[in-house]
């Protein structure tokens, strides 16, 4: 086992042992800072706040000077473990068994954070006079509202004059085996609310009431059919999913006065939030006189984007192939990630571990994959600064 693989194995266990359920840090960022600072990294701990959202700790670390500047981005916060009694091991124990490391965040994404931190430490130690810079952007808010995390960390870095050339986000991108997928983009996400107003009344006298539920059903049918589009060159079709329909009616003999629905759209690069909102409003207007409903949208901070293939994506594919024998394919599938914020500052790709167990009971990843991912990140650094 190479020294950087051994470092990554220990670091992922130590990180898992930090109970960093969003918005709690659990000591994870301090642990990383303790590893990076003695090795020559300049570090900044940054706490961002905003009314109505949790205060969040973040970490920015850099070693080297000038360009080119390659930055790794990731998060140490994790989703709640759920029923801890259902886990094979304590979800914050970092237990090793059957060639796997077990615990909440092993796949998403403490494993990748450990791997790129170990690779950066190893490269900097072996190349003390390398020309360029290596950075780490680590947040504790990716699994939460994503308000006081990466977006503000990037704004702060930009205000300090930090200029990134490329970024790798360590999200668990692979579906079946390490090395099968690189994310080069993500769909956008837009959430909307629909309220239909009726007139409450007795079910035995419907002529004296106006039931909002049939109106709501017609509106929701118009939102889902026909499909928004058939997809684009790099993206699957946009998709609207109804999340909830509520009337708050516990009675069996009362027609409700109001119905409320929430929906989310994962949209491709054929749309912007503005054009999508206009299309949803058009569909609603087409099936009602407009006087019985309210349509609103949540603020959108997740736009569809794609990173064009270039020498950097080629370099990543070659490094992955060198250690896995697989030719990674480019994908834009899945949910949102903090790459949506990074893309405003520099080209960004995502590559991490296999995501099969992320957010599940008994989340775990292969130790061999931790070793290989660390070696891939190290290979990317070698090639990038060659």
Instruction: Please state, for a pLDDT cut of 90, what percent of the chain lies above it.
Output: 96
Average pLDDT over residues 132-139: 98
**pLDDT for the residue numbered 2:** 59
**pLDDT for the residue numbered 196:** 96
Assign 76 a pLDDT band (cuts: 50, 70, 90).
very high
CA 224 to each of CA 1, 244, 299: distance values in angstroms, whole numbers, following the listed order: 53, 14, 21
The verdict on pTM exceeding 0.75 is: yes
Average pLDDT over residues 93-119: 98
Burial of 212 (0-12, 13-18, 19+ CB in 10 A): buried
How far, in Å, CA of 143 to CA of 26, rounded? 15
pLDDT digits (tens, 9 = 90+) for 314-346: 999 999 999 999 999 999 998 899 999 999 999
How far, in Å, CA of 335 to CA of 106, rounded? 19
pLDDT digits (tens, 9 = 90+) for 165-223: 999 999 999 999 999 999 999 999 999 999 999 999 999 999 999 999 999 999 999 99
Q: Which of the residues 57, 77, 141, 171 is marked catalytic?
A: 77
Average pLDDT over residues 2-17: 86
Using DSSP bridges, classify how beta strands 348-350 and 166-169 pair: parallel, antiparallel or unpaired. parallel
Annotated active-site residue 142? The verdict is yes
- Do 97 and 159 form a contact (C-beta atoms < 8 A)? no
Is 188-297 a CATH 3.30.70.360 domain?
yes
**pLDDT for the residue numbered 4:** 63
Q: Which of the residues 14, 108, 141, 142 is marked catalytic?
A: 142
What is the phi-psi region of residue 166: left when phi exceeds 0, alpha when psi lies from -120 to 50, beta otherwise?
Answer: beta
**pLDDT for the residue numbered 6:** 75
Annotated active-site residue 369? The verdict is no
**pLDDT for the residue numbered 33:** 97
Average pLDDT over residues 6-35: 96
Task: Tell me the domain boundaries of the chain.
Answer: 3-186+304-384, 188-297
Region 3-186+304-384: CATH code: 3.40.630.10
**pLDDT for the residue numbered 291:** 66
Sheet strands (E) in the chain: 42-50, 53-65, 69-75, 96-97, 100-102, 132-139, 166-169, 181-183, 185-186, 188-197, 201-202, 239-246, 254-255, 258-267, 293-297, 305-306, 329-331, 348-350, 364-366
**pLDDT for the residue numbered 288:** 79
Q: Is the pLDDT of residue 227 over 60?
A: yes
Q: Is the pLDDT of residue 3 over 60?
A: no
pLDDT digits (tens, 9 = 90+) for 299-309: 998 999 999 99
Judged by DSSP in three states, 186 sits in strand
């Amino acid at each position: 086992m190479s020294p950087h693989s051994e470092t990554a194995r220990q670091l992922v266990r130590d990180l898992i042992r930090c109970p960093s359920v969003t918005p709690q840090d659990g000591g994870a960022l301090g642990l990383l800072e303790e590893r990076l600072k003695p090795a020559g990294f300049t570090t900044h701990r940054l706490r961002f706040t905003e009314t109505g959202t949790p205060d969040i700790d973040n970490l920015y670390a850099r070693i080297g000077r000038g360009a080119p500047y390659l930055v790794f981005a990731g998060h140490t916060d994790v989703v709640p473990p759920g029923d801890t009694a259902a886990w094979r091991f304590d979800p914050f124990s970092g237990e090793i068994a059957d060639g796997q490391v077990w615990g909440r965040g092993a796949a998403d994404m403490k494993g990748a954070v450990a791997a790129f931190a170990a690779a950066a430490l190893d490269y900097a130690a072996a190349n003390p006079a390398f020309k360029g810079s290596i950075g780490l952007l680590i947040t504790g808010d990716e699994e939460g509202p994503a308000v006081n995390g990466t977006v503000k960390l990037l704004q702060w870095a930009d205000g300090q004059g930090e200029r990134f050339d490329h970024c790798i986000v360590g999200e668990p991108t692979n579906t079946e085996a390490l090395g099968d997928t690189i994310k080069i983009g993500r769909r956008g996400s837009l959430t909307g609310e629909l309220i239909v107003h009726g007139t409450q009344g007795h079910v035995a006298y419907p002529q004296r009431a106006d039931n909002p539920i049939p109106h709501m059903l017609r509106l929701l049918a118009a939102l889902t059919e026909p499909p928004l589009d058939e997809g684009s060159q790099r993206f699957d079709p946009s998709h609207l999913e109804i999340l909830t329909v509520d009337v708050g009616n516990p009675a069996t003999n009362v027609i409700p006065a109001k119905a409320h629905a929430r929906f989310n759209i994962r949209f491709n690069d054929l749309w912007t939030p503005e054009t999508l909102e206009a299309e949803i409003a058009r569909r609603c207007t087409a099936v009602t006189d407009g006087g019985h409903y309210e349509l609103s949208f949540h603020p959108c901070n997740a736009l569809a984007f794609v990173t064009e293939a270039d020498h950097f994506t080629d370099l990543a594919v070659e490094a992955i192939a060198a250690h896995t024998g697989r030719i990674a394919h480019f994908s834009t599938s899945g949910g949102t990630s903090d790459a949506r914020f990074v893309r405003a500052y520099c080209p960004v790709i995502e590559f991490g571990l296999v995501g099969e167990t992320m957010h599940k009971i008994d989340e775990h990843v292969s130790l061999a994959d931790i070793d290989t991912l660390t070696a891939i990140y190290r290979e990317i650094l070698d090639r990038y600064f060659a």
